Structure 1
Amino acid sequence: MIETFGVQDAVELAVVDRNGFVESRHAGAAIVLAPNGEVRGSFGRTDALILPRSTMKPLQALASLTAGAQLAGEQLAISTASHVGTDLHVEVVTEMLLGGGLRPSDLECPASWPADSATRDNMIRRGEEVSPLRMACSGKHATMLLACRASGWETAGYTDPSHPLQAHARDVIERLVGEKMQITTIDGCGAPVYAMTLAGLARAIQRVGTASERSPFALYRLAGELMRAVRENPWTIEGPGRPDSSLVEKLGVYSKFGAEGVQTMVAPDGTTVVVKTLDGSTRAGHTVAVHLLGQAGALTATQVAEADTLLGLDVRGGGRPVGHIRSTVHL
Structure 2
Amino acid sequence: MPQTFAAADAVELAVVERSGFVESRHAGIAIVLAADGTIAQKLGDPSALVLPRSSLKPLQALACLSAGAPLEGERLGLATASHSGTDRHVAVVRDILSAAQLGEDALGCPTAWPGDTATRDEMVRELGQPQRIRMNCSGKHATMLLTAVVNGWDPAGYLSPEHPLQAHIRDVIERLVGEKVSATAIDGCGAPVYAVTLFGLARAVHRVGNSSTSSPFALHRSAGAMVEAVRANPWTIDGPGRPDTIAIEQLGVFAKGGAEGVMVMVAPDGTTVALKMLDGSGRAATAVALRLLERHGALASADVDTAMSRLPLAVTGGGQDVGAIRPAF
TM range (shorter): over 0.9
Contact 2:251 2:304 in 1 (8 A): no
Counterparts of 1:33 and 1:2, CA distance in 2: 25
1:164 aligns with 2:164: yes
CA contact (8 A) 1:230 1:237 kept: yes
Q: For residues 123 and 314 of structure 1, what CA distance do their matches in structure 2 show?
A: 29
1:113 corresponding residue in structure 2 = 113
Contact 1:273 / 1:289 at 8 angstroms: preserved in 2?
A: yes
SS at match of 1:157: coil
Q: Report the number of matched residues.
A: 329
Which residue identity is paired with 1:107?
L
Partner of 2:225: 225
Residue equivalent to 1:76:
76
Query: Aligned-pair RMSD on alpha carbons?
Result: 0.8
CA distance in 1, matches of 2:314, 2:322: 7
Question: Per-residue deviation at 1:62?
Answer: 0.8
* 1:312 shift after superposition: 2.8
Counterpart residue number, 1:25: 25
Cα distance in 2 between the residues matched to 1:116 and 1:312: 15
Alignment partners' CA distance in 1, 2:107 and 2:312: 34
Please list the CA deviations of residues 216-236 of structure 1 after superposition, one character each: whole Å capped at 9, or x if unmatched: 111110000000100110001
8 Å Cα contact 1:265-1:274 kept in structure 2: yes
Mapped to 2, the partners of 1:127 and 1:322 lie a distance apart of 38
Aligned to 1:284: 284
Note the C-alpha offset of 1:128.
1.9
Q: Give the Cα separation in 2 of the matches to 1:308 and 1:64.
A: 33
State, as a whole percentage, how many aligned pairs show the same letter. Answer: 60
Whole-Å Cα distance in 2 between the matches of residues 123 and 318 of structure 1?
A: 31
1:305-320 aligned within 5 A: 305-320=305-320
Counterpart for residue 321 of structure 1: 321
**Letter of the aligned partner of 2:45 in structure 1?**
R
**C-alpha deviation, 1:153, in angstroms:** 0.3
> 5+ residue gaps in structure 2?
none
| Structure 1 residue 169, shift from structure 2 partner | 0.4
The whole-number CA distance in structure 2 between the counterparts of 1:181 and 1:199 is: 13
CA distance in 1, matches of 2:128, 2:322: 40
Contact 1:265/1:273, CA 8 A, preserved across alignment: yes
Looking at structure 1, the residues matched to 323 and 126 of structure 2 have their Cα atoms a distance apart, in angstroms, of 40
**What stretches of structure 1 move > 2 A for 4+ residues in a row?**
none
Quote the Cα distance in structure 1 between the aligned partners of 2:288 and 2:274: 9
* Cα displacement (A) at 1:103: 0.7
SS in 2 for 1:110: coil
The answer as to whether partners of 1:287 and 1:307 remain within 8 angstroms in 2 is no
Partner SS for 1:158: coil
1:238 aligns with 2:238: yes
Please, which runs of 5 or more residues in structure 1 have no aligned partner? none
Contact 2:2/2:182, CA 8 A, preserved across alignment: no
* Cα shift at 1:182: 2.8
Letter in 2 for 1:251: L
Q: Do structure 1's residue 155 and structure 2's residue 155 form an aligned pair?
A: yes
What are the Cα deviations for residues 56-105 of structure 1, in whole angstroms up to 9, with x where unaligned?
00000011111111011100100000001011111110011112211111
Separation (CA, whole Å) in 2 of partners of 1:63 and 1:37: 22
Output the amino acid matched with 1:244: D
Cα offset, 1:245, TM superposition: 0.5
Q: Report the alpha carbon displacement of residue 210 of structure 1 after superposing the two structures with TM.
A: 1.2
Q: What is the deviation of 1:47?
A: 0.2
Q: Secondary structure at the match of 1:195?
A: strand
Aligned AA for 2:187? D
Q: Find the counterpart in structure 1 of residue 15 from structure 2.
A: 15
Structure 2 counterpart SS, 1:265: strand
Residue by residue over 1:90-133, the C-alpha shift from the partner in whole angstroms, topping out at 9 and shown as x without a partner, is 11100111122111111101111111121111111222221110
Distance in 1 between the 2:27 and 2:208 partners?
Answer: 27
Residue 193 (structure 2) aligns with: 193
- Measured after TM superposition, the shift of residue 303 of structure 1 is 1.2
2:264 matched to which residue of 1? Answer: 264
Kept in 1, the 8 Å contact 2:107–2:142? The answer is: yes
Which shifted more, 253-262 or 316-325?
Answer: 316-325
Compute the displacement of 1:325 (Å).
Answer: 0.9
